[in-house]
Structure 1
Amino acid sequence: MKLQVGDKVPTFKAKTQSGENFKLLDYIGKPLVIYFYPKDNTPGCTLQACSFRDQYQDFQDLGAEVIGISGDSEESHDKFAKKHKLPFVLLSDFKKNIRNAFGVPSHLFGLLPGRVTYVINKEGIIVSIFNSINAASHIPTALKAIQKMK
């Protein structure tokens, strides 16, 4: 099932890069940017994560939280976050349960996990979905969607 604008975000639990338990329900009540990306330390994913990092304060100023999700391990996420000084949560989804719950498609004939960004309002409703392999385009698109909510 592929989620669409207007759908309620599925609730889930996962482990953060520091091994802590994460529950999406703890974040409902504030705007969220949840972005799925293929893999830590690849050129496009590093560009995307660092762009979210560089504009993280802009999201915070609007009351929004940024959450990155990929199939990498907690350890990989921890190294990636420390290396690039990422101030937001990265979640490990190695079994693809969260990716499947959102219906994130794959790219390149199913060989590459998809790159999709979801913007969710305070009520937990998806207000924007951006699906593009172009890593840099996700940040301004998500920021505009958050700004529209204000």
Structure 2
Amino acid sequence: MKEGDKLPEFSLLDQNRNEFNSKSLLGKKSVIYFYPKDETKGCTAQACSFRDAFEDFKNADANVVGISSDSPESHEKFAKRYDLPFTLLSDEEKEVRKLFEVPTNLLGFIPGRVTYIFDEEGILKKIYNSQMKPESHVDEAMKVLEEI
């Protein structure tokens, strides 16, 4: 994917085992972040950063969605443990990761940590890729949302 592309259409299960369709994101700005794995140090820091800034995202009229290949059950435990107020989607087959062209890191062994910011029409405004600075994704997303 590249800036200017349209939000891909996809369907995945969320942490409550409900089907989530990407069409539901249209009409609001959206931040979709891909992360490697629930309960790891960097991913927990990233999720908690989004949690701590959740009111700012709400005030910017933006959805926040996290996606990894963990199961809905894993997401449910992760969301409850850290009181995450946003949607976590289970991409166990890594189909949506491929659809978004999320790169891998460390010789392909670690799934990438990439954030995509879309406007209300579902147009991609920014891709932010940083494996080693998980908390920086929130700041980068907020900068872009303020510009939209």
The TM-score, its normalising length taken from structure 1, stands at 0.97
1:136 is matched with which residue?
A: 135
Shift of 1:129: 0.3
Identity of aligned residues (%): 50
Tell me if structure 1 keeps the 8 A contact 2:36–2:111. Answer: yes
SS of 2:61's partner is coil
1:79 is matched with which residue?
A: 77
* Regions of 4+ moved over 2 Å: none
2:87 is matched with which residue?
A: 89
Shift of 1:9: 1.3
2:42 is matched with which residue?
A: 44
Shift of 1:113: 0.2
Distance 1:49 1:30 in 2: 21
1:148 is matched with which residue?
A: 147
Distance 1:30 1:122 in 2: 4
Aligned residues: 147
* 5+ residue gaps, structure 1: none
The TM-score, its normalising length taken from structure 2, stands at 0.98
- Note the alpha carbon deviations across 1:58-107, whole angstroms, 9 max, x for none: 00001001000000000000000000000000000010010000000000
Q: Does 1:18 align with 2:32?
A: no
SS of 1:34's partner is strand
Shift of 1:136: 1.1
Distance 2:130 2:115 in 1: 9
Distance 1:95 1:43 in 2: 23
